[in-house]
Structure 1
Amino acid sequence: MENRQLGASGLRVSRMGLGTMSWGTGTDAEEAASQLVAFVDAGGTLVDTADVYGDGEAERILGSLLGDLVPRTDIVLATKAVARSGDGPFSGGASRGALLNALDGSLRRLGTGHIDLWQLHAWDSSVPLEETLSAVEYAVTSGKVRYAGVANYSGWQLATAATLPSGVRLVSTQMEYSLLQRGIEREVLPAAQHHGIGVLPWAPLGRGVLTGKYRTGTPADSRGASPAYAGYVEQHRTERAARIVQAVVTAADGLGTSPLAVALAWVRDRPGVVAPLVGARDTGQLTGSLIAEEITLPPAIRSALDDVSSIETGYPERWPH
C-alpha cells in the first residue's frame, strides 16, 4: 500500500486507514484481530479509533492486539476525545480537565505510552478554544501525543484553530467525504489545503450505500437493517444517491471491478485527501476495500462521477466571478 504525508508534517501514513467504530459492538475481538492482521499484511499503517467507540471497548480490543499480534511500531495509532461518555465533570467536552482525563483513559485502554495522532472529535462552543489548544499542547509536550488533529470542524472553525497562536500544529481533519457527501468542498477542504492540514475522510463509501447493496432493498445482515445504524444509513438513501450509485455501478462494470473499489478510489485521490478510513463489519468486507489499492480511475470515469455527484456552489465560495 502506498504511503502519503499527513498534511504539512513529517508523519507518513498508509493511503487507506482502518476504522474501528464497530469494534466491541458489531465486531468482536476475534474478528477485529483478523481485520487488523489483514490490514497490516496489505501494508496498512493508519488505525483510527475513539474513546467512545463501544463505550471504550474498541480501544481495549485494539490495545490487546498491539504487541503480541501486531508490533506497536508498525501502527500509526489514532484516537479521539471530546465526545461525551457520561454526566461527570470530566466525562466529555473540550475543557482542559476533560481532555487530559480522556487522554489518560485512552492510553490506559490502549496499553501504550503515547498516541501517534490525537484528534478533537468535535467543536465545543462552551469552552474557549485557547483552553482546548493549551491541553493539546500539553499532551504533545509531555510526550503522550505525537501529532494532533481535529474532526468534524466547519471551515471557519478549522481555520481559527489552525491560526490561533499555540505551540502545536494541527496536521489533520477527519470529515465525512464521499460521492454522496461532498459538502466539505465548499469551505473545509479549501481551508485544510491552505493551512497544510491533511483530510481523513470518514464514511468514504457513503455509509455503505455506494457499495450498491441497497439498490433493491435492505439486506438482513447490513447496517441498514440494524436498529443502531438504520437511521445513519437512511440519510444517504435518496433519489440523488440512487443516481450516483448507478453511475458507480456502471463504472465498476466497465472497469471489471466492484462499486466499492470505484467509490473508494474516487475519494482517495481527491485533492487534499490523505487516507479514507474504512470500517468493515468483517474481514471479507475489508478485503473488498483493499482491492481499491489496485485501481486508478481513468480521467473520463472520474469526470463522469464528478459531474453526477456535483454540489451547488456560488457566493461566497466562488468570488469574485
Structure 2
Amino acid sequence: MEYRHLGRSGLRVSRLALGTMTWGRDTDADEAANQLAAFTEAGGTLVDTADVYAEGECERILGTLIGTTVPRDQVIITTKAVARRTEGPFGGGASRGALLTALDGSLRRLGIDHIDLWQLHAWDSAVPLDETLAALDTAVRSGKVRYTGVSNYSGWQLSTAATMQLMSGGATPIVSTQVEYSLAERGIEREVVPAAEHHGIGILPWAPLGRGVLTGKYRNGTPADSRGASPHYAPYVEHHRTERAARIVQAVATAADGLGTSPLAVALAWVRDRPGVVAPVVGARDTGQLAGSLATEDLTLPTAIRAALDDVSGIELGYPEQRLG
C-alpha cells in the first residue's frame, strides 16, 4: 500500500485508514480481529477509533488485538476526545481536565502507553481555545501523545487553532483534520480544504463512501444486513438517501461498469486522490466488505471519468470562496 505524510509532519501513514466505529456494536471481537489482520497484511497502518464509539467498547476491543493480532509497532493508532462519555465535570468537553481525563481513559482501554495521533472530536464553544490547545501540548510533553489533530472543525475553526499553535512557539502543531468528505458530501471544499492546504494539515475523510450510499447497495431498497437497517446507523445512512445522491450513485455505477470495477472502488478512489487528502477512513461490517476497499489500491481514475464525477457532484461556490468578476 502507498504511504503519505500526514500534513507537513514526519508521520507517514497508509493512504487508507481502517475505521472501527462499528466494533463492539455491529461487529464483534472475532470479526474485528479478522478485519485488522486483513488490513495490516495489505500494508495498512492507520487505525481510527474514538473514546465514545460503542461507549468505549471499540477501544477495548482494539486494545485486545494490539500485541496479539498485530504488533504495536506496526499500527498507528488514532483516537479522539471531547464528545460526552459520562456525566460529571470531566465526562466530556474540551476543557483541560476533561481532555486529560479522556486521554487516560483511552490509554487504559487500549492498553498502550501512548496515542500516535490524538484528535479533538468536535469544537467546544464553551471552553477557551487556548485552554483546549494547552491540553494538547501537555499531552505531547507527557509522552502520552505523539501528534495532534482535530475533527469536524469548520474552516475558520481549523485555521484559528492552527494559527494559535504556530504563534505560540514550541506548541505542538495541528497535523490532521478528520471530516466527512465524499462525492455525496463536498462541503469542505468551500473553506476547510483551503484552510488545511494553507496550514499544511492533512485531511482524513470519514464516510468516504457517502455513508455506504455510493456503493449502490441502497438503490433498490435497504438490505437487511446493511447499516441502513441497523437501529444505530439508519439515520446516519438516511442523510444521503436524496435525489441528488441518487444522480451521483448512477454516475458512479456507470463509471464502474466502464472500468470493470465496483462502485465502491470508484467512489473511494475519487476521494482518496483529492487535493489535500491523506487517507480516507473506511469502515466495514465484515472482512469481505473491507476487501472491496483494499482492492482499490491499484485503481487510478482516468481524467475523463474524474471530470464527469466532479461535474455531477459539484457544489456551488460563490463569494467569498470564489471571487466573481
Q: TM-score range by the shorter chain?
A: over 0.9
Q: CA–CA distance in 1 between the matches of 2:78 and 2:208?
A: 18
CA positional deviation for 1:85: 1.0
Unpaired runs of 5+ residues, structure 1, are none
Corresponding residue SS for 2:278: coil
Out of 173, 179, 183, the position equivalent to 2:183 is 179
Q: CA–CA distance in 2 between the matches of 1:105 and 1:2?
A: 32
Alignment-derived partner of residue 88 in structure 2: 88
Residues 139-218 of structure 1 mapped to structure 2, 5 A cutoff: 139-164=139-164, 165-166=167-168, 167-218=171-222
Q: CA–CA distance in 2 between the matches of 1:136 and 1:101?
A: 12
Alignment-derived partner of residue 228 in structure 1: 232
Alignment-derived partner of residue 127 in structure 1: 127
Counterpart AA for 1:59: E
Q: CA–CA distance in 2 between the matches of 1:194 and 1:161?
A: 13
CA positional deviation for 1:320: 5.5
Corresponding residue SS for 1:47: strand
Corresponding residue SS for 1:36: helix
- The reply on whether 1:78 has 2:81 as its aligned counterpart is no
- The reply on whether 1:312 has 2:316 as its aligned counterpart is yes
- The reply on whether 1:282 has 2:266 as its aligned counterpart is no
Deviations 1:33-65 (A, max 9, x none): 000000000000000000000100000000100
* Contact 2:318/2:324 (8 A) holds in 1: no
TM-score by structure 1 length? 0.99
Unpaired runs of 5+ residues, structure 2, are none
Alignment-derived partner of residue 136 in structure 1: 136
Q: CA–CA distance in 2 between the matches of 1:320 and 1:202?
A: 31
Residues 26-41 of structure 1 mapped to structure 2, 5 A cutoff: 26-41=26-41
Alignment-derived partner of residue 300 in structure 1: 304
- The reply on whether 1:246 has 2:270 as its aligned counterpart is no
Q: CA–CA distance in 2 between the matches of 1:68 and 1:271?
A: 36
Q: CA–CA distance in 2 between the matches of 1:230 and 1:141?
A: 41
Corresponding residue SS for 1:77: strand
Alignment-derived partner of residue 16 in structure 1: 16
Alignment-derived partner of residue 48 in structure 1: 48
Deviations 1:204-244 (A, max 9, x none): 00000000000011111111111211111111001110000
Q: CA–CA distance in 1 between the matches of 2:10 and 2:223?
A: 43
Corresponding residue SS for 2:269: helix
CA positional deviation for 1:147: 0.2
* Contact 2:93/2:99 (8 A) holds in 1: yes
TM-score by structure 2 length? 0.98
Corresponding residue SS for 2:277: coil
4+ residue runs over 3 A deviation = none
Deviations 1:135-187 (A, max 9, x none): 00000011100000000000000000000134110000000000000000000
* Contact 2:20/2:283 (8 A) holds in 1: yes
Q: CA–CA distance in 2 between the matches of 1:230 and 1:93?
A: 26
Q: How many residues align?
A: 321
Corresponding residue SS for 2:321: coil
Corresponding residue SS for 1:248: helix
Q: CA–CA distance in 1 between the matches of 2:13 and 2:231?
A: 34
**C-alpha RMSD of the superposition:** 0.7
Alignment-derived partner of residue 6 in structure 1: 6
Q: CA–CA distance in 2 between the matches of 1:81 and 1:241?
A: 31
What percentage of residue pairs aligned between the two structures are identical?
A: 77
- The reply on whether 1:219 has 2:223 as its aligned counterpart is yes
Q: CA–CA distance in 1 between the matches of 2:286 and 2:173?
A: 35
Q: CA–CA distance in 2 between the matches of 1:316 and 1:47?
A: 36
Deviations 1:63-107 (A, max 9, x none): 100012200000011000000012211000000000000000000
